[in-house]
Amino acid sequence: MNFKHILAALMLSLFSMSAVHAAGQPIHEDFTTLLGLSDKMLEAAKAKDVTAFTTAASEASDVAKDQGNKGNSPRLQRVSTAFKKAKKAAKTGKFEEATTIIDAAVLEMKKPDVKPTFGGTTEGGGRKGVFGEF
């Protein structure tokens, strides 16, 4: 076998191993800024202050957008969408609806990071499929 073929196979296998390792890393997000802005939005909703709410919501959307540019996070996308929905609700004067949306976003941000499982395995190591656990 040619030395170039062996070298190419080795390089491809090393590249694929690094890609698999990178794909398996958990996403660690920092929601401290967004939680602070969520508290501002909740206070503005209690006071029924549309301008303070929309200002805090716009700032939170900008922060979420900046954090989203650093990595693709499904949780951050859900939170960002919730901020936009709450901002629309507050603009129409539906502060109760905006409060429930922000509360759901806060719960989403406070969820603990779950260790990823690959290959469909469960926490106990077995597999749950159509035929039960085996």
Type of residue numbered 116? P
pLDDT mean across residues, the chain:
79
Of 76, 71, 73, 85, nearest to 35 (Cα)? 76
Q: Are the C-beta atoms of residues 129 and 93 closer than 8 Å to each other?
A: no
- At 7 the pLDDT is 76
- At 21 the pLDDT is 47
Total residue count of the chain as it appears in this document: 134
> Confidence class of residue 22 from pLDDT cuts 50, 70 and 90?
very low
- At 31 the pLDDT is 86
Q: What is the DSSP letter of 25?
A: P
Type of residue numbered 6? I
Can you tell me the distance from the alpha carbon of 56 to that of 35, in angstroms, rounded to the nearest whole number? 11
Q: If you search the block for the tokens 């996308």, which residue do you land on?
A: 77
Listed in sequence order, the DSSP H helices in 24-49 are: 32-46
Q: Is the pLDDT confidence value at 52 over 70?
A: yes
Q: Are the C-beta atoms of residues 53 and 41 closer than 8 Å to each other?
A: yes
